Amino acid sequence: MTAATAAVKAALKEQSIETPSWAYGNSGTRFKVFAQPGVPRTPREKLDDAARVHAHTGVAPTVALHIPWDRVDDYAALAGYAEGLGLRLGTINANVFQDDDYRLGSVCHPDPAVRRKALDHLLECVDIMEATGSADLKLWFADGTNYPGQDDVRARQDRLAEALAEVYGRLGDGQRVLLEYKLFEPSFYTTDVPDWGTAYAHCLRLGEKAQVVVDTGHHAPGTNIEFIVAVLLREGKLGGFDFNSRFYADDDLMAGAADPFQLFRIMYEVVRGGGYGPRTAFMLDQCHNVEPKIPAIIRSVLNVQEATAKALLVDREALAAAQRDGDVLAANAVLMDAYSTDVRPLLAEVREETGLEPDPVAAYHRSGWAGRIAAERRSGQQAGWGA
Ligand code: LRH
Ligand code: MN
Ligand code: MN
């Protein structure tokens, strides 16, 4: 084994990909939610499933919560339960989009009483972080307008800034607020945080503990996401990712399914820009509407892992030399060589060296977990969006 391969393997063993609690529950489109057998009914059962993903992949030790979807009486006890499974609770995702009061927005709403209610929820999420030991609060706002003239676009920015400042003021040492942008949906004319520039501007004003989250499904088609990643990293403002893939809009399909090359290009900029490490939150944010959920999450983790392995394999010296020489084709060939490498044998070795089965999907199917949860989780209400 060369020194370069050993370094790549060591880096891969350090990887940490956070899975979202909501991916284990039922989900669908606005047309239909297809319930699946064995889907968790409680946050604890979601953690049980997440533990299977970590047991087979070895790189998914944390789980993101969404409040109130994962509301419990005792968050410290939930954190203890996670710990017993070899997991930790990760990012706390606030939810200020599923209440009748939020028809015209949450923290940007024209009515101060609604803004206060939304803000109180965000502050409650900071309290939850204390109990769970989570470092990051992720904020995504569905706020926006549908029609020109509906509200004062600038005033809405002021209201947003005010709310963010109050949340920021509550953060403790080692805690961050991660601001997520999204081009459109559910609002169709203006969105209050539509792009990385708006998110960046707010985070810059807030200070060091505020960073931007890049959800890979939240851009206009054709957007060069890796460029955004490079710029944010350069400015010290890349907080993390919500990985998923898309063909059209915010499809929330498995990461790396629609465009594995894009995922590689993103991970290359992460590695190149010094963003490969614990300060960048590598999260999945996806829904498995028609495919079995746990193997789909395992597959997504593997896709991120494969893109990372390829990014780590880029011969950076050869690339820099070709770039210095202005040799466009040679430079491109260096990147494509890494992308074209079949990294599956390397990853199988990494797993075997850490005591895991080489093929996590096959190992999951052999484990009998799917049959067990389908038999055991029969009564009660399955978890899903809004539950
Ligand atoms: C919004 C979003 C955001 C939410 C999640 C459920 O589209 O990406 O991250 O919290 O979906
Ligand atoms: Mn997201
Ligand atoms: Mn989304």
**Domain with 122 in it: what CATH number?**
3.20.20.150
Give the count of domains, the chain. Answer: 1
| CA angle in degrees (0–180, nearest 5) for 132-133-137 | 85
* H-helix or E-strand spanning residue 238: strand 238-243
Residue 371 located in a structural domain? no
Atom 5 (ligand 1): residue with closest C-alpha? Answer: 285
Predicted complex ipTM = 0.99
* CA 367 to ligand 1 center in whole angstroms: 31
- Nearest ligand 1 atom to the CA of 66 is 10
Residue 98 located in a structural domain? yes
111 burial level (CB within 10 Å; 0-12, 13-18, 19+): exposed
Q: Look at residue 253 in the predicted model and tell me its pLDDT.
A: 98
* CA 9 to ligand 2 center in whole angstroms: 29
Q: What is the pTM of this model?
A: 0.98
* CA 12 to ligand 2 center in whole angstroms: 24
Q: Look at residue 3 in the predicted model and tell me its pLDDT.
A: 86
* CA 243 to ligand 1 center in whole angstroms: 11
Residue 372 located in a structural domain? no
Which residues of the chain register pLDDT less than 70?
385-387
The span from the CA of 60 to the CA of 68, in Å, is 23
Provide, for the chain, the percentages of residues in helix, strand and coil under a 3-state DSSP scheme, each rounded to the nearest 5.
50, 15, 40
The span from the CA of 273 to the CA of 372, in Å, is 44
Picking from 244, 189, 179, 245, the residue whose alpha carbon sits closest to that of residue 213 is 179
- Nearest ligand 1 atom to the CA of 142 is 1
Length of the chain: 387
Q: What is the phi-psi region of residue 45: left when phi exceeds 0, alpha when psi lies from -120 to 50, beta otherwise?
A: alpha
The span from the CA of 329 to the CA of 335, in Å, is 10
Ligand nearest to the CA of 140: 1
* CA 285 to ligand 2 center in whole angstroms: 5
**Probe ligand 1: pick from 215, 288, 385, max atoms within 8 Å of CB?**
215
Residue 263 located in a structural domain? yes
The span from the CA of 384 to the CA of 387, in Å, is 5
**Probe ligand 1: pick from 18, 242, 248, 289, max atoms within 8 Å of CB?**
242
Residue 356 located in a structural domain? no
Q: Look at residue 387 in the predicted model and tell me its pLDDT.
A: 47
Residue 296 located in a structural domain? yes
Pinpoint the alpha helices (H) of the chain: 3-13, 43-57, 75-84, 112-132, 153-170, 196-206, 225-234, 260-272, 293-313, 316-324, 328-340, 344-353, 360-367, 369-376
Q: Look at residue 384 in the predicted model and tell me its pLDDT.
A: 85
Residue 62 located in a structural domain? yes
Residue 26 located in a structural domain? yes
Residue 217: give the domain boundaries.
14-312
Tokens of 280: 């960048």
